Structure 1
Amino acid sequence: MDELQARHRKEQRDLQSRITQKKKQASKKTRKGVNDECDKLEAELGQKHAAEVAALNGDAAPQDEEVVLSEQLEGLILNVDAPEDVAKTNGTEHTQQPSVPQEASDDAVVPSQSKKPNRAKARLAKRAAEQEEQARQAAEEVKHMPDMKQQERGRMLEGMKQRGLHEKEIRADGHCLYSAVADQLEQLQVRLGTVVGDKPALGYKAVRSAAAEYIEQHQDDFVPFLEEPLPEYLHKIRDTGEWGGQLELMALAKTYGTDINVLQDFGRVEKIDSGSGSDAKEMWLGYYKHGFGLGEHYNSLRKAP
């Protein structure tokens, strides 16, 4: 059996050399024919080797030649270029294993004798390590960055002190601008207004309704600055928690005839004129860019007692 397997390995190597040479010399037109010829040569050699092994073992010719061919080819491929003692062991174990029916394949698959490293897992591990390192570096940078929230807060308090104001903190819920305006109007004893219908509205809801109504009645002054259709924009003002901004402050200043002063970082004050002249009442809002988790925020600034 050892001599037979050694000869089989040599014949297999010789055949592979011939097949490699034929495929190298094949052109596009002859490639299919060459591949078919090579497959035929491999099948014939496998059948010949299977018959020789069966004869040596004294076995009867198998009824299913495809099963024998597949098993024998697998054994030959496993033992090609292997050391003699390994080939002997593998060959013996192979002949002792019961045959398992399977379809013969034109291209024999070479099982791996040693587990190969998983490249996909290695790439994922490398990527995870890189992301972890980036997160560590970012956290390290944050430690050395100035606290924007704390610095802004300190400057805002200084600005309030200079103007004789103190802060009424407004809940950061998306309605802060309207709630802050409502608080200021109550301090100025200005009627908030009503929502659609005759039911009185309280707080930010009334202010939202007033802003939407003014924009709807003065569309030409606002539509050029909108990035969406007017009905959708008005719906967001009236019925949702959408944040308010410059356009809404302009509408509210006109609606209530009250000038709006917005104190910002570094002591800047933006004044929104109501058009009511020098006798107009004034309200004060504090605008924060960094001070709250949701982002931009408005608080009500009352006169200090």
Structure 2
Amino acid sequence: MDDPHSEQQRILRRHQLEKKELQDQIQSLKNSVPKTDKKKRKQLLQDVARMEAEMAQRHRQELEKFQDERSFEYIIEDLTKMDLENEPPCSRKAQRKREKMETLERERQESNIQTETEHLTRVRREEEEKKLTAILGARGLVMKQIPADGHCMYRAIQDQLAFYMSVETLRLRAANYMQKHVDEFLPFLGNAETGDSFDYDDFLIYCDNIVNTKAWGGQLELRALSHVLKTPIEVIQADSPILVIGEEYTKKPIILVYLHYACILGEHYNSVMPAQAEAARGAAPPRLQ
């Protein structure tokens, strides 16, 4: 019998991956609909809500089914234990040996699955980095690593500002802008689990989390910061067109690199720097200690 905790974790990881894939699909749909076409934008929001609701319902049903199956297995396991108590010692010894062999086989299979998953993730990461290196190289840029601490998007923006602004200030400015322009942001927020759209109270909690937690930043926060900084922000991805936010501004854009497989948690933002600067830094003599 598989470890229920491990099985549940596998289900939750798959659900998380499916959510990420759905968000990528939704973003692609949003990019394809002009902002000026209110009729299509309204239909898009309805379609997005429907897709998110369908996924949330399916995930909920899978978890409920898993819990029901585990309950049935526990009953069978209890009955088996009762039968074993009435068996002679030799039968119990043979049963323990079989259980030990089954446990070893299960652990071997789980180890193989984990190894295959790690290998697949490593292959995807290497392929993604190779594509991004080519895209950035064509623009005379290289990727600059940013810590994966929940603040990566804000730190990547901070890295490219011509003036100093702390991560805390960037978060606060983004949240304040969103609260002053509720109609621009609220329609795009919802509960990924239930598919329900956010109400105003949910929106305020979301903004509060921007300021007071390590909540990851996304396109809504990028749009808010683009307005705050009066600067366009470009997001480069390996397998998607470059996303330009704040195209109405004429300043030199801030360029971010969005990675899907950079770390254990998945999504991550890095900064960029001129390739010449990276080469000069690599050629600099070591400091004397």
- Taking structure 1 as the reference length, the TM-score comes to 0.52
Which of residues 142, 145, 162 is equivalent to 1:166?
142
1:73-222 alignment to 2 at 5 Å?
114-118=88-92, 121=96, 124-125=99-100, 127-138=102-113, 141=116, 145=120, 147-186=123-162, 189=163, 202-222=165-185
Give the AA of the match of 2:149. D
Instruction: Please give the per-residue CA displacement for 1:276-304, whole angstroms capped at 9, x wherever unaligned.
Output: 3xx33311011111122332111111334
Alignment coverage as a number of residue pairs = 180
Which of residues 248, 253, 273 is equivalent to 1:282?
253
Aligned to 1:298: 269
1:234 shift after superposition: 1.0
SS at match of 1:172: coil
> In 2, Cα distance between the equivalents of 1:172 and 1:257?
26
- The answer to whether structure 1 residue 226 and structure 2 residue 202 are counterparts is no
Give the AA of the match of 2:108. E
Percent identical pairs in the alignment equals 33
> In 1, Cα distance between the equivalents of 2:233 and 2:89?
74
1:150 shift after superposition: 1.6
> In 2, Cα distance between the equivalents of 1:113 and 1:131?
25
1:50-69 alignment to 2 at 5 Å?
none
Aligned to 2:209: 236
Q: Unpaired runs of 5+ in structure 1?
A: 1-110, 193-201
> In 2, Cα distance between the equivalents of 1:300 and 1:212?
22
Give the AA of the match of 1:293. I
Which of residues 231, 240, 245 is equivalent to 2:218?
245
1:163 shift after superposition: 0.8
Aligned to 1:50: none
Task: From the superposition, tell whether residues 287 and 144 of structure 1 become closer, same or farther in structure 2 (CA, over 3 Å).
Answer: closer
Give the AA of the match of 2:89. K
> In 1, Cα distance between the equivalents of 2:87 and 2:157?
77
Give the AA of the match of 2:225. L
> In 2, Cα distance between the equivalents of 1:129 and 1:218?
58
* Bigger radius of gyration among the two: 1
Task: From the superposition, tell whether residues 169 and 136 of structure 1 become closer, same or farther in structure 2 (CA, over 3 Å).
Answer: closer
Q: Unpaired runs of 5+ in structure 2?
A: 1-84, 191-197, 277-289
> In 2, Cα distance between the equivalents of 1:264 and 1:113?
63
1:254-265 alignment to 2 at 5 Å?
254-265=227-238
1:245 shift after superposition: 0.7
Task: From the superposition, tell whether residues 117 and 148 of structure 1 become closer, same or farther in structure 2 (CA, over 3 Å).
Answer: same
Task: From the superposition, tell whether residues 300 and 117 of structure 1 become closer, same or farther in structure 2 (CA, over 3 Å).
Answer: same
Task: From the superposition, tell whether residues 117 and 241 of structure 1 become closer, same or farther in structure 2 (CA, over 3 Å).
Answer: same
User: Higher relative contact order by CA 8 Å / sep ≥ 6: 1 or 2?
Assistant: 2
SS at match of 1:280: coil
SS at match of 1:258: coil
> In 1, Cα distance between the equivalents of 2:176 and 2:273?
27
SS at match of 1:117: helix
The RMSD of aligned alpha carbons is 2.8
Task: From the superposition, tell whether residues 114 and 303 of structure 1 become closer, same or farther in structure 2 (CA, over 3 Å).
Answer: closer
Partners of 1:168 and 1:301 within 8 A in 2: yes
Give the AA of the match of 1:291. A
1:266 shift after superposition: 4.1
> In 2, Cα distance between the equivalents of 1:182 and 1:158?
24
Task: From the superposition, tell whether residues 120 and 300 of structure 1 become closer, same or farther in structure 2 (CA, over 3 Å).
Answer: same
1:158 shift after superposition: 1.2
